[in-house]
Chain A
Amino acid sequence: MFLITCPYCGTRDQSEFSNAGEAHVARPEKPEDLSDEEWADFVFLRNNPKGLFAERWIHTAGCRRFFNMLRNTATDEILAVYKVGETPPRVSTAEPATPSGEAPIGSGNDAVKVERPEGGE
């Protein structure tokens, strides 16, 4: 269970919240002008990166507000929360070197359980 800081209510347990998918995917202004492919891209395709990800959450049990979160999905580190309409803040986080790699710490996966001694190969 994470702790999530609702931008309105403060820090609460994850059980009060629901995830609502990728953030900053605006509904096209004029859907009728889009090709099938462009529309399908909006409706069906979402990014799902291992690493830094902007996603939406709702404080379901609290104030019922949607808000945005920057989370490192490789480590579950919550880097920022901000209100709908706000620009995502700049954050830095250690990301996996490759899409299937591991962050240097925090993933709990085999590759990063043990420290590599200096000069260790």
Chain B
Amino acid sequence: MSEIRRRTPLHTRKPLEAPGGAARIAELPFLGKLVLRVDPQAGSKAVEAATGVPLPAEACTATGDADTAILWIGPDEFWVITPRDGETAAAAALEQGLAGLHHQVADIGSYYTAIEIAGPRAREMLMKLTMLDVDARAFSAGQVAGSIFAAAQAYLWQVTGDDQPGGPAFRLFVRRSMADYMWCLLAEAGFEWGMPRQTPVGGETWRLER
């Protein structure tokens, strides 16, 4: 019996693209994601030594690159993004480097998944879901924001700039349980440019009465 041991919340969803590359969405499976809580004043050197990436100095920004990055989430809260299966080593390195300093490292690799939203229409798709100002003037490569997307809280990170071939690329980190909801609404947002519509998982039997 073949068994799939590890599944992302969107493992049944195939990447979607609007004709002509106007927009595309794809799940980026199994990215390493760690929550790092530390006073940046006290911990920045140790964090950089452990991960090779400096802590973001500015609020709502990211450091590093598409593979390994640190995202500013709050004044003493960061997300460390690593390649697949890189989180265990990163966590160990952080624990070791920050030993003796008040800190927290928590694995949230399974908690959230990343949906990449890219292409010239990516911004307009996001505008259908969030009140966050995602106009190119207000939100550019390297920026990060926690906000509300449709009825779900999520974190948005612009990874590559608008000048890149294929247009800007964003990553939306969404809770596992809300990933399918978000995926389908993103596809719906791209329908204007020809992205295929998606039906949320559903159809179960409900019983409400006692």
Contacts and interface: CB of A to CB of B under 8 A. Distances in A.
Interface stretch (B39-47, B84-92, B105-113, B142-150): B142-150
Interface stretch (A10-18, A22-30, A37-45, A93-101): A10-18
B104 interface: no
A63 B77 contact: yes
Given A13-B132, A16-B131, A59-B146, 4 more contacts: A9-B146, A13-B147, A61-B146, A62-B146
30 contacts: A8-B59, A8-B74, A8-B75, A9-B59, A9-B60, A9-B145, A10-B60, A12-B131, A12-B132, A12-B145, A13-B132, A13-B147, A13-B148, A15-B131, A16-B131, A16-B146, A16-B147, A60-B153, A61-B147, A61-B148, A61-B153, A62-B74, A62-B145, A62-B147, A63-B73, A63-B74, A63-B75, A63-B77, A64-B77, A65-B75
A63 B72 CA distance: 9
Contacts of A60: 153
Interface residues of B, number: 13
Main secondary structure of the interface of B (DSSP, over half): strand
Interface of A: 1, 8-10, 12-13, 15-16, 59-65
Interface string B139-166: 0000001111000010000000000000
Contact of A64 (B74, B131, B148): B74
Interface of B: 59-60, 73-75, 77, 131-132, 145-148, 153
Contacts of A13: 131-132, 147-148
Main secondary structure of the interface of A (DSSP, over half): loop
A119 B46 CA distance: 71
B104 to A, nearest CB: 13
Contacts of A16: 131, 146-148
A10 B132 CA distance: 11
